[in-house]
């Protein structure tokens, strides 16, 4: 599924959605050097992981966040590293606190702002556990200083490009006018032993946490408080922010700091929500609606350099007969007039921003199994600037000389790159960074198949070292989540190279419902998850096993989120796979729709299950449980609110009472993903052991810590 409701644009259980890349290579070595980091899970979880990017106003400094294994090996901790934009110098580490640092952003004067839960050096011994606060590292170097904090921490910050004014997003209890009142309300609840939350609107949970009673508010700070000013003047720009998501985190300051643009939730009939675009005068707090489209969500606004226009994403509302579509809107800030910037563009643009002159807009979009950078000039067709790979965190140099981004691909984790602002077919080399992978245990190729209706079905295929016609590799079909996404980038959560290091060929198809292949390709599977998405997966599998390097007699299928749904569906429709692994999966569509954190989103596609049960009945795997013969490994986290644990429990019970060979890997404290190194390790260990038993015939070896 998408891993988050479209109106929130978070990572993805299907599309908001529900979200999940010799004959057999030797097993990982216990001692001595391994051939690659993927041969030994301890080496794999210790690999550095880059995320986020910030560019200074003068273009001379580029900063990213790098996560590495903590000394106790129980968590990953992040630090900020500086990357040389010219590529001439090695990267250097800037921060070193145990809690870590993230969310870097530069002020116009070169001060580096970031969030961290590092302790306040001036706090008393009874200050309690530190919460994420805003810190500043001077441009000339030295020690970082605490800028501002709130009792429940900060969740976001935006800086005006010209004035340097700052707005932070922080959770606040209802009716609390300031930080003191907020603390008093929290203390009163704690002292009374009250944990209850009264809800008056849907939803009540999001991903892995309860909503309320605290909701995010946007607070105006103006310029950075002077060093030593520990009690700056805060002004709540969103005093009326209410449930479920308050002011949210989708906020952006105009270059002069005069206006704050943000997405505002609007409640609708049938317990549903949509987003509209509003702007708030930071001096007066007055808010006016800029774009309010009853048939769409509007979000991800970015300012033009002169502050007179905004560019944003418009995502049309879905219905049972129509999938959502995306376009970019140019918005005149003075009167709210809009222009469709990407009319006729058969892809889904995201993350727009203006070029240095304000004459063109850059954006990202899935395209043919890649996540590419595009440039569009009003009145002209978008132009793709990059060849292969998946790009994120695009940064535009203010002098117009370059673009910077993080680039990944299935054969390369995220790394910073420099791009030409207008050239096409670019394939940039990574800038020196601390996240380079030394070697991969195989090779990557692209594979095409033909669906039953003649549609092209694109896939990525990872072949392990040593796979050949003489020694074909067993096949693992790995199905992506979403469903409105595609396999196109490196993933630390779903890493095919760990399985390739064990000798498996890993197939990563983009079946119907996948984005990046045109609206019609999405529509093929809309509301019919068990139809074209399934037959496309089988067509891709047929194309893979036809290769001499692949052994079609030893196969497995797996997936997470929507991919887990598809793994369940595959298990009910065919016995061609020797094993099925299903993570955070949908099993009973009616029950899922009523208990997920974004019920309204799924009803838009499948209809009301009471009055329109047809799609639920036709596409719900639980109705075909008696057909399952392949052994199944069920994996689920108790804190998963996108695909609630009830789905995994019902699936497990249905398998057990039918005598299907099955196991249930249960994580009491994980959510939709595995977020700790230890749990990620046993996740892979269990999957590897299950496949070794049922695909390779090596017998079951229970992971040591389970």
Per residue in 631-690, pLDDT tens? Answer: 999 999 999 999 999 999 999 999 999 999 999 999 999 999 999 999 999 999 999 999
Looking at residues 301-310, what average pLDDT do you find? 98
Q: What is each CA distance from 421 to 355, 393, 613, in whole angstroms?
A: 8, 15, 51
Q: Is the pLDDT of residue 411 over 80?
A: yes
State what percent of residues in the chain have pLDDT above 90: 83
Q: What is each CA distance from 66 to 435, 436, 673, in whole angstroms?
A: 8, 12, 19
Contact 395, 403 (CB under 8 A): yes
What lies within 8 Å, CB to CB, of 207 at 6+ separation is 4, 10, 597, 641, 642, 671, 672
Residue 267 has a pLDDT of: 87
**pLDDT class of 33 with cuts at 50, 70, 90:** confident
Residue 6 has a pLDDT of: 35
Looking at residues 350-369, what average pLDDT do you find? 98
Pairing of strands 632-637, 662-667: parallel
Residue 419 has a pLDDT of: 98
417-426, 435-444, 654-663: which has the minimum mean pLDDT?
Answer: 435-444
198-202, 387-391, 410-414, 650-654: which has the minimum mean pLDDT?
Answer: 198-202
Q: Where are the beta strands (DSSP E) in 573-654?
A: 579-583, 632-637
Residue linked to tokens 């939803």: 203
Give the chain's largest Cα–Cα span: 75
**Residue with more model confidence, 368 or 7:** 368
3-state helix, strand, coil in the chain (%, to 5): 15, 35, 50
Domain 442-694 matching CATH 3.40.50.720: the answer reads no
Looking at residues 204-225, what average pLDDT do you find? 91
Per residue in 129-156, pLDDT tens? Answer: 889 999 999 998 889 999 998 888 999 9
Q: Is the pLDDT of residue 16 over 70?
A: no
Compute the Cα dihedral for 327, 64, 116, 18 and give only its sign. Answer: positive
Per residue in 236-273, pLDDT tens? Answer: 999 888 767 788 789 999 999 999 999 999 988 888 88
Q: Which residues pair with 115 in a beta bridge?
A: 102, 134
Per residue in 269-300, pLDDT tens? Answer: 888 889 999 999 999 999 999 999 999 999 99
Show the tokens assigned to 574: 């065919």
DSSP state string for 147-195: EE--TT-EEEEEE-TTT--EEEEEEE-TT--SHHHHHHHHHHHHHHT--
Show the tokens assigned to 438: 């030394």
Question: Distance (Å, rounded) from C-alpha 524 to C-alpha 517?
Answer: 11
**pLDDT class of 23 with cuts at 50, 70, 90:** very low
Looking at residues 455-463, what average pLDDT do you find? 98
**Residue with more model confidence, 11 or 594:** 594
State what percent of residues in the chain have pLDDT above 70: 95
pTM: 0.94
3-state secondary structure of 670: coil
Contact 339, 377 (CB under 8 A): no
Q: Is the pLDDT of residue 27 over 50?
A: no
C-alpha of 371 from chain center: 13
If you average pLDDT over every residue of the chain, what do you get?
93
Contact 497, 356 (CB under 8 A): no
Q: What are the residue ranges spanned by the domains of the chain?
A: 442-694
Contact 457, 539 (CB under 8 A): yes
DSSP code of 540? H
Q: What angle do CA 164, 262, 285 make, to 5 degrees?
A: 70
Residue linked to tokens 């774009």: 291
Per residue in 51-110, pLDDT tens? Answer: 999 999 999 999 999 999 999 999 999 999 999 999 999 999 999 999 999 999 999 999
Q: Is the pLDDT of residue 13 over 70?
A: no
Question: Distance (Å, rounded) from C-alpha 58 to C-alpha 56?
Answer: 6
Looking at residues 556-578, what average pLDDT do you find? 98
Side by side, the strands of the sheet bearing 112-116 are: 101-106, 112-116, 133-137, 145-148
Q: Is the pLDDT of residue 21 over 60?
A: no
Rg of the chain taking only CA atoms, in angstroms? 25
Helices (H), 319-416: none
3-state secondary structure of 630: coil
Measured in degrees and rounded to the nearest 5, phi and psi for residue 572 equal: -85, -10
**CA torsion, points 79, 83, 89, 95, in degrees to nearest 10?**
-20
Per residue in 306-316, pLDDT tens? Answer: 999 999 999 99
Q: Which residues pair with 358 in a beta bridge?
A: none
Q: What angle do CA 693, 695, 698 make, to 5 degrees?
A: 40
Question: Distance (Å, rounded) from C-alpha 14 to C-alpha 520?
Answer: 19
């Amino acid at each position: 599924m998408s891993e988050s409701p479209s109106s929130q644009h978070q990572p993805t259980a299907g599309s908001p959605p529900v979200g999940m890349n010799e004959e057999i290579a030797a097993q990982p070595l216990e001692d001595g050097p391994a051939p690659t980091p993927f041969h030994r899970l301890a080496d794999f979880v210790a690999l550095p992981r880059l995320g986020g990017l910030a560019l200074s106003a003068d273009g001379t400094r580029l900063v990213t966040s790098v996560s590495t294994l903590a000394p106790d090996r129980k968590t990953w901790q992040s630090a900020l590293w500086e990357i040389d934009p010219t590529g001439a110098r090695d990267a250097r580490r800037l921060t070193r606190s145990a809690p870590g640092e993230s969310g870097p952003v530069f002020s116009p004067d070169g001060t580096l702002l970031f969030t961290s839960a590092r302790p306040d050096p001036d706090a008393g011994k009874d200050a309690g556990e530190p919460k994420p606060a805003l810190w500043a590292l001077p441009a000339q170097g030295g020690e970082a200083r605490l800028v501002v904090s709130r009792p429940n921490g900060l969740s976001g910050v935006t800086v005006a490009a010209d004035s340097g004014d700052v707005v932070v997003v922080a959770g606040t209890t209802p009716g609390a006018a300031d930080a003191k009142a907020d603390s008093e309300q929290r203390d009163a609840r704690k002292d009374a032993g009250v944990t209850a939350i009264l809800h008056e609107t849907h939803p009540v949970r999001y991903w892995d946490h309860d909503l309320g009673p605290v909701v995010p508010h946007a607070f105006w700070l103006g310029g950075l408080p002077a060093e030593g000013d520990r009690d700056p003047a805060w002004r709540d720009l969103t005093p009326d922010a209410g449930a479920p998501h308050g002011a949210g985190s989708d906020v952006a300051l105009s270059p002069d700091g005069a206006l704050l643009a943000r997405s505002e939730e609007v409640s609708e009939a049938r317990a549903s929500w949509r987003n509209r675009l509003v702007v708030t005068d930071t001096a007066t707090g007055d808010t006016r609606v800029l774009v309010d489209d009853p048939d769409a969500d509007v979000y991800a606004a970015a300012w033009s350099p002169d502050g007179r226009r905004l560019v944003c994403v418009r995502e049309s509302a879905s219905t049972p007969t129509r999938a959502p579509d995306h376009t970019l809107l140019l918005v005149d800030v003075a009167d709210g007039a809009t222009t469709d910037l990407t009319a006729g563009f058969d892809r889904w643009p995201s993350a727009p921003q203006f070029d240095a002159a304000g004459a063109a807009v850059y954006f990202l979009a899935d395209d043919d199994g890649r996540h590419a950078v595009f440039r569009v000039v009003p009145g002209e067709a978008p132009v793709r600037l990059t060849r292969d790979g998946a790009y994120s965190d695009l940064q535009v140099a203010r002098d117009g000389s370059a673009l910077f981004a993080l680039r990944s691909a299935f054969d390369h984790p995220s790394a910073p790159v420099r791009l030409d602002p207008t050239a096409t077919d670019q394939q940039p080399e990574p800038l020196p960074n601390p996240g380079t992978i030394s070697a991969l245990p195989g090779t990557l190729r692209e594979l095409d198949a033909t669906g039953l209706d003649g549609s092209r079905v694109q896939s990525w295929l990872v072949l392990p070292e040593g796979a050949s016609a003489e020694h074909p590799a067993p096949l693992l079909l790995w199905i992506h989540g979403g469903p409105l996404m595609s396999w196109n980038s490196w993933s630390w959560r779903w890493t095919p190279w760990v399985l390739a290091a064990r000798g498996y060929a890993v197939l990563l198809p983009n079946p119907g419902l996948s984005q990046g292949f045109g609206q019609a390709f999405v529509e093929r599977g809309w509301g019919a998850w068990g139809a074209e998405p399934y037959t496309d997966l089988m067509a891709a599998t047929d194309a893979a096993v036809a290769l001499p390097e692949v052994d079609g007699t030893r196969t497995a299928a797996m997936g997470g989120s929507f991919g887990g749904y598809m793994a369940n569906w595959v298990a009910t429709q065919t016995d061609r796979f020797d094993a099925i692994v299903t993570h955070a999966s949908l099993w009973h569509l009616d029950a899922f729709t009523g208990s997920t954190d974004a019920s309204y989103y799924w009803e838009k596609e499948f209809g009301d299950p009471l009055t329109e049960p047809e799609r639920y009945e036709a596409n719900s795997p639980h109705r075909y449980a008696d057909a399952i013969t392949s052994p199944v490994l069920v994996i689920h986290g108790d804190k998963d609110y996108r695909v609630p644990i009830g789905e995994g429990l019902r699936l497990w019970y249905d398998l057990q009472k039918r005598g299907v060979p099955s196991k249930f890997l249960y994580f009491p404290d994980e959510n939709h993903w595995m977020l700790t190194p230890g749990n990620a390790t046993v996740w892979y260990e269990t999957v590897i052991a299950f496949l070794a038993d049922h695909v390779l015939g090596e017998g079951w070896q229970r992971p040591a810590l389970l």
